[in-house]
Amino acid sequence: MIPNSSRKRQRPPHHHASAIVEAFPHKTISEFSQKLPRTSFSFNDPSTADVILRFFIDRSPFDSSNPSDSARYSDLQIYLHSRVIFGAKYFSALLSDRWQHQANNHNAGHDSRTIANCNKMFHLNLGVHDDPTVHLTVLQLLYTYDFPTVIASASTALEILPVALELLFEDCVKACVKFLEAVPWSEEEEKRVLSLIPLLREEESKELLARVSPGEDDFYEEMLHGLIEKAIEEKESLVQYSSPDFRGDHNETEAIQRLHLHTAMTNGRHLLWLVERMIELKVADLAVKQWSEQAAFTVDLQKAFRDDAWRNIVPGLPAVMLRCTCKLASAVAAGTILSSRQVRMKLVKDWLPVLISCKDNVSPMLPSHKTLYLELEETFLRIISTLPMSDAQVLLQQCLSFSTRNVEDCPHLVTAFNTWFRRASQPPQMENVG
């Protein structure tokens, strides 16, 4: 549980008497214990455990919840191992000699955080607000440390993080924060992130704050000014491209063009196959990093797509390049691949112009191509939402080509700009960190 205190790592729960009524169904615990791999010490194994942890519902007097819920979870008993749960500093402190000495001088049955040592078996009580499912998941993570398997969505990370903070399970806190840094959030999830930021240390919350806090008072005005300048540039470009004086002769021979295009096509097919396999094996982190460092290659691709040679030589080149990019970008946006902010930014920055070039030069547009373009547009916008506002400001202006005359045809672009302007209109959050 998380109290209304801004102090870091200080989350003591309320102290109320434990109401132990009836046994909790053992089947529920078995289901939890089977979800994750076991270690040499098995979760909830009474034959080897030296700690018994009881959950009880610790409700406020003003809570209007159904009292039957309290009875349901009031006698949930878990068998744990002190060597394992020492991974959470809360349990480490609770089981220390100082706490044991204090507990021996008090009545261990009437305090929500008491400990009794009887025949080398420690008895602990832990109050929870309601369903202890998330607490059980965090306790299992103390045994498995299999964070990638459990923390697979922003909503899951946001459920686990408060409990990890409560139990001072630092490795779990880091895993949740790292995942939240790298994936997009819904508007509701963003509100939850903002509510948790004050409970994190400054170095832990830095990347999260950079995404949602404008940082400067003139961000909003700068974005509007940039959009106006972009519109003027687009108008001037249309005039320039329509002028016959702009178009000149190509210096490259047809043989060199063929060589370059076939090389690009071959590399693209190889990369696509490798990327698919690496994503399946969950080892595509390096592939994303390398794909984000292909600035020269993406420039060459744009030049090739502006010529007519590729249409007859390698007509499938644009689709291969974009499918490879889309697969990597989708894995990044989904959190399957946790990439750094720099990698996410470079991935969009270098490959967004290739997408725009394909849309401008591939004609006629096949239905499959249109679907691919739309999917990559949406994926790029999701990744942009994970970046600091200064980076998102620059990249979003380059996404204006996604728009059409009909607003209903580009809801993904509308959503992306609404998200940016909502964040820009919020007051700076820096004073909440420290």
191-247 residue pLDDT tens:
999 999 999 999 999 999 999 887 665 666 676 566 556 555 544 443 343 334 433
Contact yes or no for 122/108 (Cβ under 8 A): no
The whole-number pLDDT of residue 68 equals 55
The whole-number pLDDT of residue 176 equals 98
Low-confidence ranges of the chain (pLDDT < 50): 1-7, 11-38, 98, 107-114, 116-118, 234-249
The domain spans of the chain are 26-212, 219-241+249-432
Q: Which residues of 108-129 are buried (b: 16+ CB within 10 A; e: fewer)?
A: beeebbbbbeeeeebbbbbbbe
The whole-number pLDDT of residue 31 equals 43
Measured distance CA(386)–CA(193) in Å, rounded: 13
The pTM (predicted TM-score) of the whole model is 0.70
The whole-number pLDDT of residue 91 equals 92
The whole-number pLDDT of residue 432 equals 54
The whole-number pLDDT of residue 2 equals 38
The whole-number pLDDT of residue 107 equals 46
The whole-number pLDDT of residue 347 equals 97
CATH architecture assignment, domain 26-212: 2-Layer Sandwich (3.30)
pLDDT tens digit string along 79-138?
999 999 999 999 998 888 545 555 555 544 444 444 544 457 888 888 888 789 999 999
**Residues ≥6 apart with Cβ < 8 Å to 190:** 212
The whole-number pLDDT of residue 78 equals 92
The whole-number pLDDT of residue 121 equals 84
Measured distance CA(315)–CA(312) in Å, rounded: 6
The whole-number pLDDT of residue 377 equals 94
The answer for 153, left when phi > 0, alpha when psi is -120 to 50, beta otherwise, is beta
**Residues ≥6 apart with Cβ < 8 Å to 363:** none
The whole-number pLDDT of residue 340 equals 95
The whole-number pLDDT of residue 123 equals 87
The whole-number pLDDT of residue 159 equals 96
Measured distance CA(409)–CA(413) in Å, rounded: 9
Q: Please state the length of the chain.
A: 434
